[in-house]
A and B are shown apart, each in its own frame.
Chain A
C-alpha cells in the first residue's frame, strides 16, 4: 500500500516537474508546479512530518504561487515562440544528465552517519509534530529564527522600493 502510493506520487511528481520545464505557456508551468508541490506535501505526510506538509501547501502552493501567477497575469506574457536553441538543449540536457549520474553515484555509494537521534515515531505521536518543531526552533535555533525575521523585513522593503515607479 505504502509502496504503491510512493511510486504513484513519485511518477506524478517527476511528470509534473518535467512539464514545468517543458510547457510553453508560463501559466501552464505554474499549474504543473502546484501539482508538484502537492505531491511533495504528500511525501512529507508519508515521512511523518504533517506540519511541514501543511506549510508546504500554505506557503508554497498558496502564497508563492499566487505571487507568481499574479506577476504572469500582470505582465501579460504570451506563449513562447517555437524557436528553440538546439545547442542550449544539448548542453542543458547533457549537464543535467551528468548531475543526475553524479548524485546517483553519491546516493548509492554514500551512507548516512550511524548516529541516531531521539525523535522516534512514538515521540512524534505522543508530543505532536508541531510541538517538537516549536521546541527546536525556539531553543536551539532562536538566533537563526530572528535573522530570518530580519531577512523577511529586508525583502519587504526591497520589493516595495523596486516596484515603485519613481524612487
Chain B
C-alpha cells in the first residue's frame, strides 16, 4: 500500500539530488535545470499532501509554482544569453565581476 509518506520520501530524495547538482555543477544552464528539479519535487509534495488531506489548496499552489517557474525560465535564460554575449561562456567560474 502506497501512503503519503512514500511520496514525501521520494520527493525528499529528488530534492537532495537537485541540491547536489546545484552545488557541484559549473554550467549555469545545468544549475538552472537542477533548480527546476527541486521545484518539481516540492510540487510532488504539495499534490501528495493535498490528496492526503482531501483539500484542493495544495494543487492551486502547484499552479502558482509553475507560473513562477515559467517566469524564471524566461528571465533566467535571457540573462544567460546576455552574459554569454559579454563573456563567451556561461561557466559560473566566470561570474566574478562582483568579487573583491
Contacts and interface: CB of A to CB of B under 8 A. Distances in A.
A163 B66 contact: no
Contacts of A117: 53-56
Contacts, number: 215
Count class of interface residues, chain A = 35 or more
Contacts of A100: 12-13, 16
A141 B67 CA distance: 14
B7 A59 contact: no
Main secondary structure, interface of A, reads helix
Main secondary structure, interface of B, reads helix
Interface of B: 1-2, 4-10, 12-27, 29-30, 32-34, 36-37, 40, 43-44, 47-57, 59-60, 62-64, 66-75, 77-82, 84-85, 90
9 contacts: A20-B37, A52-B47, A64-B36, A67-B77, A77-B29, A77-B90, A112-B52, A119-B54, A136-B60
Interface of A: 2-3, 6, 10, 13-14, 17-18, 20-21, 26, 29-30, 33, 36-37, 40, 43-44, 46-49, 52, 55-56, 59-60, 63-64, 67-68, 71-72, 74-75, 77, 80, 85, 88-89, 91-93, 95-97, 99-100, 103-104, 107-108, 112-113, 115-120, 132-133, 136-137, 140-141, 144, 148, 151-152, 154-156, 158-160, 162-163, 165
Query: Lowest 8 A-B CB distances belong to which pairs?
Result: A21-B21, A92-B23, A117-B55, A155-B71, A103-B12, A162-B78, A96-B20, A92-B24
